[in-house]
Chain A
Amino acid sequence: MLLGALATVRHALQSVARAMNRAAGWGFVVCSLLVTFDVLGRKFLGVSTQATVELTGYLLAFGIAFGLAHTLAERSHIRIDVLVMRLPLGLRQYLHLAAAALLVCLLGILTWAAWSLVEESHLFNAHDTSVIAVPMVLPQGLWAFGIAVMALFACVLTLEAMARLAVGDAAGVERLLGSRSLDDEAKEALEAAGTRTGAKETA
């Protein structure tokens, strides 16, 4: 019952996170176009946006923050698991859970810190020094939102893992939190390069 509800929430958040990651990616495409136009414009037309440094910085902050939750859903955030993966599953699931819980702690701090910065910028009505004088709450707000979504997602993930642990579903915990094996990573690089995988075994 509870487990089902948590899984539903997680799936919903995963779709949100996927869409946010897509937005982050397109942000980087925009970023490269912006910089290219700026370079070419300066060189050949003598014009410049005069705000490229600021704007691309904001796009980076946006990109990092909006990609965070999806990267967690894809289990790509980095853990050092050489020791963990050698332990039996029964023990491993507790370590997965501990890692997730500590990640929630970190994200709590990050969200709080990011949000305080937004409030501060709002309080002082801070603008950047570029020609278009962007109010800092805009980029910082989006950035803080991205971090907050990851925090929320990590919370739900941890709760679901706890629920699964309670009903003795160790394999489920591993599916939720176990880090991607090098195999998965390799497979992804290969798919991108457009080759079929011929691996039979890696041990």
Chain B
Amino acid sequence: MIAFLLVVLLVLASTIWAMFGGQALGLPVGELVLLAGLFLLFFGAGIYVAAALGLLGMLIGLMYSDRPFWLFLGQTIWAPSSNYVLVAVPLFLLMGEILLRAGLSEKLYRALNVWLARLPGGLLHTNIVSCAVFSAISGSSVATAATMGSVALPYFERTRYNTRMVLGSLAAGGALGNLIPPGITFIIYGLITETSVGQLYIAAVMPSLLVTLLFIAVILWHGLTHGRMQAPARLPLEARLRSLVDLVPTTLLILLVLGSIYGGLATPTEAAALGVVGAAIFALIEGRFSLRMLQDSAEATARTTALIGLILFGAYLLNFVLTSLRVPQAMAEMVSALPLPGWSIVALILLFYLALGTFMEGFSMIITTVPIVFPIIVALGYDPVWFGVVVTMMVEIALISPPDGTVMYVLQGMRPSGGPITDVFTGVMPFLAVYLLAVAILLALPEIALWLPRAMS
């Protein structure tokens, strides 16, 4: 509620400011005011996101464009529909759906547990690390949280672990799903902004390590201040080494998917296809593969792809009209002419994302806002690849920001002994805080993201 009001205020403020300051610069103030007002009305009234975007585009086009823009609409929506880069989205989704049903996660969790359980904070570390590793083969945060949560939660039954920390760490781990390559958000960002998805994946490596380390630090701190929680007996080295065998399938899949992208052997789309086949082979080895299972995975993939596709249609319609009216360019020029330092504008934009994220889901957030925000960022002199990483982090933060984060509800649904959802909300807070800290660090030191792509080229 507060977030929604904050968004309203921000939009109103920028509108008023555009009316006074923008007129002098010859801006299409009319479009901006109309757009902002109708946007709020439509979104507030629960109109489908795609319809809100597309119909606003048509309306603005009819009112302000003097060209027969409707002649190009077919081509405008066909372009993203048949885009080779976007093909990677359903393929990564399909891989994730197969892995979700393949039982790989159980072995992963057990094996990591052998190595991490004796640290202060114990099993909680296993939650984070297993989620991080699983993220490296799956591009979906919800799938990551669901898979690892279903494996992890039974381990905590009848232990003295703080329930809130258990749920919080799993939610936080899930929120690594899209940030750790290969993530789907990066593909959609790459599609909209024409940024290289491969570069985005390379740039995301250091930031995802940073976030993971910060999560581990939270748990270490919790472990040290709350005493050891039933540290298990030390296992003989032989048993520990034997547990590594269970990590083999996961490691192979990571090598297959990320290795082929980073090694320059395959495009993200090709790596995703290899990942689907690899995931199916491991499911086969585990004895979990069947045509029925493949069909279930495929149907779930088709649904998610259609949902993304419809929003893309709406966004492309709106964007086509706005671009032909030069609105994003004009806004970018106006914002970059402001007597404010660039970082403060970026910080404002990120605050806007934070507020948006409390009630909006990730895909629609990216598809709706990036076409408008991206030219501003570029005009301010920021790197498109860096912004892609930061925006993805904001989307991940949205997934774990109460009261509306899918990941948290997935975990709530899995609790073996039930309890109030507020346990999840409270538990995730420290992780949410360090996630935001990581964004701040990236804002101050963009090199964390940009160093690796440069070093590799």
Q: Could you tell me which A residues sit within 8 Å of B by CB distance?
A: 21-22, 24-29, 31-36, 38-39, 53, 56-61, 63-68, 70-71, 74, 76-84, 95-96, 98-99, 102-103, 105-106, 109-110, 113-118, 120, 139-140, 143, 179, 182-183, 185-190, 192-195, 197-203
- Does B413 contact A79, Cβ atoms closer than 8 Å? no
**Stretch of B110-118, B204-212, B240-248, B306-314 that contacts chain A:** B306-314
Contact B413 A190 (CB under 8 A): yes
Check if A67 sits within 8 Å of B306, measured CB to CB: yes
Q: In the complex, which of the residues A38, A77, A113 has the most CB atoms of chain B within 10 Å of its own CB atom?
A: A113
Query: Does B416 sit within 8 A of A, measured CB to CB?
Result: yes
Is there contact, CB below 8 Å, between A79 and B47?
yes
Q: Does B442 touch A at the CB level, under 8 Å?
A: no
The CA of A53 and the CA of B82, in the complex, are separated in Å by 9
Smallest CB separation, B402 vs chain A (Å):
12
CB within 8 Å for A36 and B299 given contacts A68-B309, A198-B414: no
A33 to B278, CA, bound (A): 11
In this complex, the member of B54, B82, B309, B317 whose beta carbon has the largest number of chain A beta carbons within 10 angstroms is B82
Q: Known contacts A29-B276, A116-B73; can you find 19 more A-B pairs with CB under 8 A?
A: A21-B299, A25-B301, A28-B90, A31-B90, A32-B91, A32-B276, A36-B277, A56-B87, A57-B83, A60-B82, A70-B302, A71-B303, A78-B364, A102-B42, A106-B50, A110-B54, A110-B313, A182-B404, A188-B300
With A83-B46, A198-B415 known as contacts, the answer to whether A193 contacts B299 (CB < 8 A) is no
Let me know if B274 is at the binding interface, CB within 8 A.
yes
B359 engages A80 (CB within 8 Å):
yes
> Which residues of chain B (260-311) have a CB below 8 Å from chain A?
266, 269-270, 272-274, 276-277, 294-303, 305-311
Return the CB mask of B33-73 against A: 1 if under 8 Å, else 0: 00000000011111111111011001000000000001101
Does B75 reach chain A (CB closer than 8 Å)? yes
Query: Given A28-B94, A32-B276, A64-B309, are A80 and B46 also a contact pair (CB < 8 Å)?
Result: yes
Q: Is B363 an interface residue (CB 8 A)?
A: yes
User: Of A79, A84, A105, A192, which contacts B300 at CB under 8 A?
Assistant: A192
Q: Is the CB of A57 within 8 A of B311?
A: no
Question: Which A residues touch B421, using CB under 8 A?
Answer: 202-203
**Structural contact, A22 and B313, CB atoms closer than 8 A:** no
CA distance A11 to B48 in the complex (A): 22
Partner of B418, one of A61, A65, A199: A199
A109 in contact with B360 (CB, 8 Å): no
Pull 24 A–B residue pairs with CB atoms less than 8 Å apart, ordered by A: A21-B303, A22-B295, A32-B91, A35-B270, A35-B273, A39-B274, A58-B82, A63-B305, A64-B309, A78-B48, A78-B49, A79-B49, A81-B46, A82-B404, A102-B48, A103-B51, A117-B78, A183-B413, A186-B413, A189-B142, A190-B413, A195-B414, A198-B417, A202-B421
Contact of A189 with B81 in the complex, beta carbons under 8 Å: no
Do A82 and B4 touch across chains, with their CB atoms under 8 A apart? Answer: yes
Inside 8 A of A188's CB, which chain B residues have their CB? 300
Whether the Cβ atoms of B303 and A67 lie closer than 8 Å is: yes
Measured between alpha carbons, how far is A170 from B421 in the docked complex, in Å? 29
A82-B359 contact given A117-B75, A182-B404, CB 8 Å threshold: yes
Q: Are B146 and A190 in contact (CB under 8 A)?
A: yes
Assess whether B379 is interfacial by the CB under 8 Å rule: no
A59: chain B residues at CB < 8 Å are: 87
Which chain B residue shows the least CB distance to A140?
Answer: B78
Chain B residues near A27 (CB, 8 Å)? 302
Contact of A68 among B76, B310, B410, B412 (CB under 8 A): B310
**What does the 1/0 interface line of B70-109 toward A look like (CB < 8 Å)?**
1101111110011110110011001001001101000000
Across the interface, do B273 and A32 meet the contact criterion of CB distance under 8 Å? yes
B143 interface contact, C-beta 8 A? yes
